[in-house]
A = this chain, B = another copy of it.
């Protein structure tokens, strides 16, 4: 009756409502969930809660979830298979109405199996054909290509790349896009121009210093995210190398701070917030047994600022 299941007479209705008020009674979610197999929350798992990258995504998801009067419970998986698995099971046990999961250590088949259960499961940041509309992702290969091609269009040819951890699919895709652009321009892939780092500022800083030791003829560097680009900027500054006069830098993500770096960072924008909203919308529609009318594949976009210019 509290949930409008049964039709009630006005009189009894009032009596009950009054009693509820007096005892400030709160329905026990656990007991209720035992029957309905529902908890009224959306489970969300992402690699890490700290970075501005996932921050924007969570923001988008939260906006939509809150608009629906629901809540999200989030956990982090740290791109590690074991931790992801624990986090996923922890969340599943709480019977969320739907799950949104962004992981890197978990394989496609495992994800497929998860999605096969009753709880609607949406995958963020991966394209799994069998999942159809239940995933949302961005073309990172194209993003890497876009970034590198922009440098090429500006007249650069000796272009380095600071990659993210190559255990992460996004990192590999961006690297792949970098190679495609380079090869399209007739520049063979040069191993010495590429270095792997960790998506953190300090990592980008160290990687840049290593790159500088290895070779000093680079005229541009494509960093696989903005945080590493911030580190690169700093390393170049300390080395007395001017950006963008001597070396151009391009980042990836367009985090809020990107435009406040010096020089302001040219970068590849991913519509993280919008993607967060969209994935939540898919979840809610799936919950209602409907298909969501949203985009599933998003396109990266070049944001031109001041850290790139023609060589010389």
Spell out A's residues near B (CB within 8 Å). 26, 28-31, 33-34, 39-41, 49-52, 55-56, 58-59, 62, 66, 71-76, 83, 86-87, 89-90, 93-95, 200-201, 205, 227, 230-231, 233-234, 237, 256-257, 259-262, 264
- A-B contacts, 10 of them at CB < 8 A, read A28-B34, A28-B93, A34-B34, A73-B73, A227-B256, A227-B257, A230-B260, A234-B264, A237-B262, A260-B261
Cα separation A226 to B41 with both chains bound (whole Å):
34
Cα separation A205 to B95 with both chains bound (whole Å):
44
Q: Would you give the shortest CB distance from A102 to chain B, in whole angstroms?
A: 14
Which of B49, B93, B260 has a CB less than 8 Å from the CB of A231?
Answer: B260
Identical copies in the complex: 2
* Nearest 5 A/B pairs, CB to CB: A262-B262, A50-B55, A230-B260, A73-B73, A29-B93
A86 contact set on B, CB distance < 8 A: 71
Cα separation A236 to B108 with both chains bound (whole Å):
49
Cα separation A205 to B256 with both chains bound (whole Å):
13
In contact, A75 and B72 (Cβ under 8 angstroms):
yes
Cα separation A26 to B95 with both chains bound (whole Å):
12
In contact, B73 and A74 (Cβ under 8 angstroms):
yes
A260 contact set on B, CB distance < 8 A: 201, 205, 230-231, 233-234, 261
Q: Would you give the shortest CB distance from A56 to chain B, in whole angstroms?
A: 7
A231 contact set on B, CB distance < 8 A: 260
Cα separation A230 to B52 with both chains bound (whole Å):
15
Q: Can you name the residue of chain B whose Cβ is closest to the Cβ of A237?
A: B262
Cα separation A288 to B106 with both chains bound (whole Å):
34
Q: Most chain-B CB neighbours within 10 Å: which of A87, A262, A264? A: A262
Which of B51, B90, B201, B237 has a CB less than 8 Å from the CB of A41?
Answer: B90
In contact, A31 and B29 (Cβ under 8 angstroms):
no
In contact, B49 and A59 (Cβ under 8 angstroms):
yes
In contact, B71 and A90 (Cβ under 8 angstroms):
yes
A33 contact set on B, CB distance < 8 A: 30
Q: Would you give the shortest CB distance from A299 to chain B, in whole angstroms?
A: 24
Q: Would you give the shortest CB distance from A110 to chain B, in whole angstroms?
A: 14
A259 contact set on B, CB distance < 8 A: 201, 234
A93 contact set on B, CB distance < 8 A: 26, 28-29
Q: Can you name the residue of chain B whose Cβ is closest to the Cβ of A255?
A: B257
Q: Most chain-B CB neighbours within 10 Å: which of A50, A58, A200, A237? A: A50
- Tell me whether A71 and B87 are in contact in the complex, defined as CB-CB below 8 angstroms, given that A30-B95, A31-B34, A76-B62 are known contacts: yes
Q: Knowing that A41-B94, A49-B59 are A-B contacts, what are 12 other residue pairs whose CB atoms are under 8 Å apart, sorted by A's residue number?
A: A28-B34, A29-B94, A39-B94, A40-B90, A49-B62, A52-B52, A62-B76, A66-B83, A200-B256, A201-B259, A233-B260, A261-B261
Cα separation A201 to B205 with both chains bound (whole Å):
23
Q: Can you name the residue of chain B whose Cβ is closest to the Cβ of A260?
A: B230
